[in-house]
Amino acid sequence: MANAISSQGADYQEFWNEYHLCTLTTLRPDGRPHVVPVGVTVDAATGLARVITRKSSRKVANILAGGSEARVAVCQVDGGRWATLEGVAEVCTDAAVVEDAVSRYGQRYGRTPAPDPERVALLISIDRATGQTFSARPQTAQAAA
C-alpha cells in the first residue's frame, strides 16, 4: 500500500538514505516551534521515520505534551535539494524498538552511538512528504552571466 514516502520518486527515497544532518521540529505546549538538529532514519515501506534521543530532552517533553496527536516535522537540506516529512510522533521506550532505531541510525550515519540507559526512540508516522530532491542541472558560467 502506498504511503506519503513510498509515493515519492526514487530520488526522494534515496535522498533520505544519504548522510545528512536533519532537523526535528516539535511544538512547545505554548505552540512555539522547537527546532533541533537530529539524525533521522526513514523506512519508506512502512512510512515510518525514527529519531533516537534521551528521554529527558525538550523534544520528548513536547511530544508527550502533545499526546496522541503530537505533530512533528523532520527536514534535511543539501544545496538546492531538500525534503520534509510531517507526521504524528510517539515516544517509545521498548528496548527492542530502541535497539532497532539505534541500528538503523548506525547504518545511515556510519557509527553506532554509545549505550545510553536514557535513550528512547521517536517513531514518526509520516502522513506528508514534500521537497525537491532531484539534482538541478548545474549552471554554466555563461548562463549565470
Sheet with 81-92: strands ordered across: 33-38, 22-27, 71-78, 81-92, 119-132, 48-54, 41-43
pLDDT, position 144: 45
Burial class (CB in 10 A: 0-12, 13-18, 19+), 87: buried
* % of the chain residues with pLDDT over 70: 91
Q: How confident is the model at residue 2 (pLDDT cuts 50, 70, 90)?
A: low
Condensed to tens digits (0 to 9), the pLDDT of residues 81-127 reads 999 999 999 999 999 999 999 999 999 999 999 999 999 999 999 99
